[in-house]
Structure 1
Amino acid sequence: MDRSWQRIETWLAEHAPSTFESLRPPASADAISAAADELRMKFPADLVESLRRHDGISAGPALLSFPGGDLPLDVDGILRHGRMSQWLWNRHSEDLPDETYWHPKFLMFADRRVTPDGLVLDCREGATFGAVGTHLKGSGTSFGRCPSLAAFLHELADGLEHGLAMGWWRKFVPVVWQETLLWEEEPQSQPVPRSLREVAATVSAPAAPEVAHDPFPVVAEEGWAGEYASFCLSFVRGLVESELLRRFGALADTHRPRSRGQAQADAQRWTTGLLPVVRAGRCGQWAFGIEEGHRGQGSRSEVLRRLSRGTQAVSLSFSGATTMSYYEDGKLVTVYDTRRSYQPPGERDPFDIFPQLPAHGSAAGRLLPDGRTSLGMLALPTERTPLLQRETLRAVCRVVSDHFGIDLPPGALTGELASAQVLPVLPGLDGRYRPPTELAEYITAAPEARLRTVLATQMCSLAAETGLDTYPEVIEALPQAGQDERQGVDDDSPLGIRLRTVFADAAAAWSLPRGDDGHLLIDHSEREAWRHRADAAGALVDALSLPAREVIGSVLHQRRNPNWRAEFMDQLGETLHEHRGAPPRERQARTPAAHARKRRSTQ
Structure 2
Amino acid sequence: MSIPAVEDSWARIEAWLARHAPASHARLRPPASVSDIEAAERTLGVGFHPDLKESLRCHDGVDLQQGAPTLAYYGPPSSVADIVDSTRFLRGIGADVEPDDVLDEDDEDYDELATYWHHDWLLITLGIGWQSSDGLFLSCRPGPNWGRPGRYFDEDIPSFTAWPSLRHVLADYADALENGTTFDGRTPLAVDGVLLWDDEKTTVPDPASPLALAAAAGEPEPEPPAPAEPDPVPGRKAEGQRLLMVRVRRSSPPAPPPMQPDVVFVAGITPEELLRRLGAIPETLRPRGRQRARESAIAPWAAYRPMVRAGTLGGWAYATQEGAYGTQDGVAAQLLRPEVLRRASAGTRAVALTKRGPEVSVTLTEDGVPNPEQARRVESPRENHIPVVGPAQTVLGLGADPWPGSSAAYTRLLAGLERDFGIVYRPDDDVAAELTSALLLPVLDDIDEDAHQYVTEVRDFDLAGLVERTPPQRLRRAIAAQLTRLAAETRIDGYGEVADAVARTGRGEPVDLTPDGPLDLRMRTVAAEAWAARQLLRGPGRWSEGPVTQEDFGAWVIRAEALRALREFVRLPVRAAAATILHQRMSVFWRTELAADLRTP
Normalized against structure 2, the TM-score is what?
A: 0.73
Aligned pair 1:447/2:471, yes or no?
A: yes
Change (3 A) 1:551 1:408: same
How many residues align? The count is 517
Aligned pair 1:157/2:161, yes or no?
A: no
Change (3 A) 1:198 1:123: farther
Of 287, 293, 301, 2:325 maps to 293
Aligned to 1:298, the other structure's residue is in SS state: coil
Aligned pair 1:18/2:23, yes or no?
A: yes
Change (3 A) 1:488 1:61: farther
| Cα distance in 2, alignment partners of residues 160 and 271 from structure 1 | 50
Specify the alignment match of 1:267 in structure 2: 297
Compute the displacement of 1:155 (Å): 0.7
Of 506, 512, 516, 2:530 maps to 506
Specify the alignment match of 1:77 in structure 2: 86
Compute the displacement of 1:462 (Å): 0.5
Compute the displacement of 1:313 (Å): 2.9
Specify the alignment match of 1:460 in structure 2: 484
Aligned pair 1:190/2:190, yes or no?
A: no
Aligned to 1:182, the other structure's residue is in SS state: strand
| Cα distance in 2, alignment partners of residues 70 and 192 from structure 1 | 36
Write the letter of the residue equivalent to 1:112: I
Q: 1:309·1:328 contact (CA, 8 Å) conserved in 2?
A: no
Change (3 A) 1:29 1:500: same
| Cα distance in 1, alignment partners of residues 93 and 166 from structure 2 | 22
Deviations, residues 41-100 of structure 1 (Å, cap 9, x unaligned): 765443454456555544443243323464545322344344334533438989xxx987
Change (3 A) 1:23 1:487: same
Specify the alignment match of 1:112 in structure 2: 128
**Which of 1 and 2 has greater Rg?**
2
Of 412, 421, 429, 2:447 maps to 429
Compute the displacement of 1:384 (Å): 11
Of 19, 35, 41, 1:33 maps to 41
Specify the alignment match of 2:186 in structure 1: 172
| Cα distance in 2, alignment partners of residues 200 and 526 from structure 1 | 15
Identity in percent = 33
Change (3 A) 1:161 1:262: same
Change (3 A) 1:134 1:234: farther
Change (3 A) 1:387 1:132: farther
Compute the displacement of 1:29 (Å): 2.6
Compute the displacement of 1:443 (Å): 2.1
| Cα distance in 1, alignment partners of residues 291 and 43 from structure 2 | 62
Compute the displacement of 1:179 (Å): 1.8
Q: 2:360·2:406 contact (CA, 8 Å) conserved in 1?
A: no
Normalized against structure 1, the TM-score is what?
A: 0.73
| Cα distance in 1, alignment partners of residues 74 and 50 from structure 2 | 24
Deviations, residues 285-335 of structure 1 (Å, cap 9, x unaligned): 54132253223122333222211212233445544453747453454436x
Change (3 A) 1:154 1:497: same
Aligned to 2:587, the other structure's residue is in SS state: coil
Specify the alignment match of 1:547 in structure 2: 573
Specify the alignment match of 1:306 in structure 2: 343
Compute the displacement of 1:465 (Å): 0.4
Q: 1:304·1:330 contact (CA, 8 Å) conserved in 2?
A: no
| Cα distance in 2, alignment partners of residues 571 and 189 from structure 1 | 24
Specify the alignment match of 1:248 in structure 2: 278
Aligned pair 1:128/2:145, yes or no?
A: yes
Q: 2:218·2:301 contact (CA, 8 Å) conserved in 1?
A: no
| Cα distance in 1, alignment partners of residues 27 and 493 from structure 2 | 42
| Cα distance in 1, alignment partners of residues 430 and 155 from structure 2 | 39
Change (3 A) 1:400 1:573: farther
**Which aligned pairs between 1:44-443 and structure 2 lie closer than 5 A?**
44-51=49-56, 54=59, 56-68=61-73, 70-73=75-78, 74-75=82-83, 76-90=85-99, 103-105=116-118, 109-113=125-129, 118-122=135-139, 125-134=142-151, 140-143=157-160, 145-167=162-184, 171-188=185-202, 190-200=204-214, 226=258, 232-286=262-316, 287-291=318-322, 292-294=324-326, 295-320=332-357, 322=359, 324=361, 326=363, 328-333=365-370, 350=372, 353-354=374-375, 357=377, 391=405, 394-395=408-409, 398-399=412-413, 401-402=415-416, 404-405=420-421, 406-412=423-429, 414-415=431-432, 417-430=435-448, 432-433=451-452, 434=455, 436=458, 437-443=461-467
Compute the displacement of 1:555 (Å): 0.7
